Structure 1
Amino acid sequence: MKFSLFYFDGDGSSTQTDKYRLLMESAQFADRHGFTALWTPERHFHTFGGLYPNPAITSAALAMITQRVRLRAGSVVVPLHDPIRIAEEWAMVDNLSHGRAEIAFASGWTVADFVLSRERHTNRKAVMWRDIDTIQRLWRGESIERQDSAGKTFTIQTLPKPIQPELPIWITCQSNETFIEAGKLGANVLASLLGSTLDSLAPKIRLYREARQRQGHDPKTGTVAMMTHTFLGADLATVKAQIKQPFCEYLKNHYDLLENLAKGMGLNVSLKNFSEDDIDSLLEFGVEGFMNGRSLIGTPESCQEFVEQAREAGVDEIACLIDFVQNSDSVMAGLPYLKQLMQRCQERMVSHV
């Protein structure tokens, strides 16, 4: 099992001057201690994730302070951008990092984000598959034709030339269909447990492997990474006490997660109709549910079983989402325990070989 760090929260509305302190310090920790990658997202128009509107810029900054760890977009929302610009920007990241750039592609979620796009929200998946192909061709040095506003045709070849001859790509997957399409493409997969469980994720991973095989790709290759909320410490009771309030605040800022929790309780309702007391009751129940079976929240010892369950479900890498806790010192203090978990899991795998 590989371990990487994932960033998704990050309140961009504050006026503090060290907004990216946790990102920078934890990135250097990951680079020193054998973590596989750093994932930074693309988020727009919301305090939740507002630190991260452009993963290419974030990864370019991380390239300057790291040496080994892979730099991944998690994700680039393809329909919001011209594929030429995606190819150009990430070729720069590849050069700045000496060949460590990777991209997870997504079709987009929020309708409001599409004020940045000339494409319709309803067409977003078709646009994503079309433009991924264009980006891959440009990355390889191929030319494409484009017309300017007057209808004149130009032949375009992007620069700078990237270090890696092929761009390592991922697809952000939730539905069965997307898992299958990712397998056909031969791409890696970025998944999560935000709206599901390991039991529901495992069949999708099998569909992915089967699709790889049918398309002529080695079904054993291709990495499935799973974004997982992560906070570890020395004592389970202390960790739960530390995490409860930050996690409640985190979920309050992400109504999609809260509604998923409600559905998990058998409540097919809109949270717009909930009172504050109702939401607080839901949070009390939901946080405990997230800690048990959907996250790495606990100690290295208590979390090892979840890692083994993830491996059995077909997960190859756990992308540890660490910034849902808004206290940088607490998060950094927990990273050595995450390193311990990673080492325990690796030692266990070696002993079973």
Structure 2
Amino acid sequence: MEIGVTSFVETKPDIETGIVMSHAQRLREVVEEIVLADRVGLDVFGIGEHHREDYAASSPAIVLSAAASLTKRIRLTSAVTVLSSSDPVRVFQDFAMLDGISNGRAEIIAGRGSFVESFPLFGYGLHDYDELFNENIELLMKIRESEKVTWKGGHRPAIHNLGVYPRPVQNSLPIWIGSGGTQSSAVRAGLLGLPLMLAIIGGNPMNFAPLVELYKKAAARAGHDVSQLQVGSHSIGFVAEDTERAADIFFPSTQYGMNKLGKERGWSYYDRSSYDAARSFEGALYVGDPETVAQKIIHLRKHVGITRFMMYVPLSTMPHELVLRAIELLGTEVAPRVREEIAKWEAEKE
């Protein structure tokens, strides 16, 4: 069971002062967060790609490379790379370089993205949303498999027996499929035999269990070894020494972020009752003291089949020292509890 952190490197206004920090400051802060996550024993840190004013990381590989030489063991991944509007050759090259700098710790989580700003920015049409992703994941996997590539698609120039360099340290650079929870994306990941990262950010996480089963059935149908497949959860959360303190600290920024996004997407108003329901044991917010958060993660592992849990923190802008403390508690208090309990559970099943 792997435990890690996801960040979109947000730069929304401070809830109390209204001040918006610079992109440069937030980028430096997130490098500190990655270094701390490594030091406290977390397994993975993911950076999301965005092309909006309120997010600072347009290129996850650059941010992760800044932290690569400052860390020793933590795996470094995008979360996600918006593959539909990216050149797969350049994506592979960027992460192969990250893999070299980190000595074999790079990963890619490829997705279609929940925002669409990158499409007009890079000259792609939204009517090709799905087709672009299908072509690009095919090419990305082909580059991973072979140093020399011959490929032809409908949206980029063909490649005729050309080498793609540099090559990564890892024999097979890990590529995950990021999904918002649609059946089609789960089936696609299963048929390709790729690990699946689910954005479990609302509702009851137990409702994702049938989706995981669908993913595994698709993988088995395609001839892949289901026992080797990983399933991850990207879930919003926050850890403090006391559950009520954690809830009170995390609510203002979460409410701001949810309602800002909700205005764009037509969601209902997010208030404290919505928040408290989501942080209940059956909800999708992992907010509380270390024991509370650990038990929710353990429940997710046992009943949904998640093998990697990534906590998205912070949502919106929070004081940096509180974010660092949450990461520290996740690594030193939550992760050991989860690993110990899951190890016992696995042993009992055998």
Same fold (TM over 0.5): yes
Q: String of CA shifts for 1:195-231, please: whole Å, max 9, x gaps.
A: 4431221110110111111111111221111111121
Q: Give the direction of change, closer, same or farther, for the CA distance of 1:257–1:285 in structure 2 (3 Å limit).
A: farther
Q: Give the direction of change, closer, same or farther, for the CA distance of 1:134–1:124 in structure 2 (3 Å limit).
A: same
Task: Work out whether 1:219 is the aligned partner of 2:226.
Answer: yes
Hey, what's the Cα distance between the residues in 2 that align with 1:209 and 1:21? 39
1:11 aligned residue: 11
Q: Give the direction of change, closer, same or farther, for the CA distance of 1:344–1:77 in structure 2 (3 Å limit).
A: same
2:285 aligned residue: 295
Asked if the contact 1:194–1:257 (Cα under 8 Å) also holds between the matched residues in 2, the reply is: no
Q: Give the direction of change, closer, same or farther, for the CA distance of 1:327–1:119 in structure 2 (3 Å limit).
A: same
Identity %, equivalent residues: 22
Asked if the contact 1:297–1:303 (Cα under 8 Å) also holds between the matched residues in 2, the reply is: yes
1:53 aligned residue: 58
Hey, what's the Cα distance between the residues in 1 that align with 2:166 and 2:241? 47
Selected match of 1:177 from 184, 187, 195? 184
Hey, what's the Cα distance between the residues in 2 that align with 1:257 and 1:46? 15
Task: Work out whether 1:94 is the aligned partner of 2:82.
Answer: no
Q: Give the direction of change, closer, same or farther, for the CA distance of 1:134–1:145 in structure 2 (3 Å limit).
A: closer
Q: Give the direction of change, closer, same or farther, for the CA distance of 1:16–1:200 in structure 2 (3 Å limit).
A: closer
Hey, what's the Cα distance between the residues in 2 that align with 1:32 and 1:256? 38
Task: Work out whether 1:37 is the aligned partner of 2:44.
Answer: yes
Asked if the contact 2:201–2:285 (Cα under 8 Å) also holds between the matched residues in 1, the reply is: no
Greater Cα shift, 159-168 or 111-120: 111-120
Selected match of 1:85 from 90, 93, 111? 90
Hey, what's the Cα distance between the residues in 2 that align with 1:15 and 1:284? 29
Hey, what's the Cα distance between the residues in 2 that align with 1:220 and 1:29? 32
Asked if the contact 2:9–2:27 (Cα under 8 Å) also holds between the matched residues in 1, the reply is: no
Residue ranges of structure 2 left out of the alignment (5+ in a row): 13-19
Asked if the contact 1:102–1:167 (Cα under 8 Å) also holds between the matched residues in 2, the reply is: yes
Q: Give the direction of change, closer, same or farther, for the CA distance of 1:210–1:44 in structure 2 (3 Å limit).
A: same
Q: Give the direction of change, closer, same or farther, for the CA distance of 1:152–1:62 in structure 2 (3 Å limit).
A: closer
Asked if the contact 2:44–2:76 (Cα under 8 Å) also holds between the matched residues in 1, the reply is: yes
Q: Give the direction of change, closer, same or farther, for the CA distance of 1:256–1:134 in structure 2 (3 Å limit).
A: farther
Q: Give the direction of change, closer, same or farther, for the CA distance of 1:323–1:207 in structure 2 (3 Å limit).
A: same
Give the aligned residue type for 2:278. F
Count of aligned residue pairs for this structure pair: 329
1:272 aligned residue: none
Asked if the contact 1:2–1:317 (Cα under 8 Å) also holds between the matched residues in 2, the reply is: yes
Hey, what's the Cα distance between the residues in 2 that align with 1:121 and 1:133? 19
Task: Work out whether 1:283 is the aligned partner of 2:271.
Answer: yes
Hey, what's the Cα distance between the residues in 1 that align with 2:220 and 2:134? 20
Hey, what's the Cα distance between the residues in 2 that align with 1:309 and 1:317? 13
Partner of 2:228, secondary structure, is coil
Compute the RMSD of aligned alpha carbons: 2.4
Hey, what's the Cα distance between the residues in 2 that align with 1:57 and 1:2? 24
Asked if the contact 2:92–2:140 (Cα under 8 Å) also holds between the matched residues in 1, the reply is: yes
Q: Give the direction of change, closer, same or farther, for the CA distance of 1:122–1:197 in structure 2 (3 Å limit).
A: farther
Residue ranges of structure 1 left out of the alignment (5+ in a row): 263-278
Deviation, structure 1 residue 8: 1.7
2:168 aligned residue: 162
Hey, what's the Cα distance between the residues in 2 that align with 1:124 and 1:16? 28
Task: Work out whether 1:310 is the aligned partner of 2:300.
Answer: yes
1:194 aligned residue: 201
Selected match of 1:248 from 239, 252, 255? 255
Q: String of CA shifts for 1:130-179, please: whole Å, max 9, x gaps.
A: 112212222330223689xxx99864321112212212111111201110
Q: Give the direction of change, closer, same or farther, for the CA distance of 1:31–1:184 in structure 2 (3 Å limit).
A: same
Deviation, structure 1 residue 259: 4.5
Q: Give the direction of change, closer, same or farther, for the CA distance of 1:17–1:214 in structure 2 (3 Å limit).
A: closer
Give the aligned residue type for 2:308. E
1:345 aligned residue: 338
Hey, what's the Cα distance between the residues in 1 that align with 2:221 and 2:64? 34
Hey, what's the Cα distance between the residues in 1 that align with 2:111 and 2:130? 8
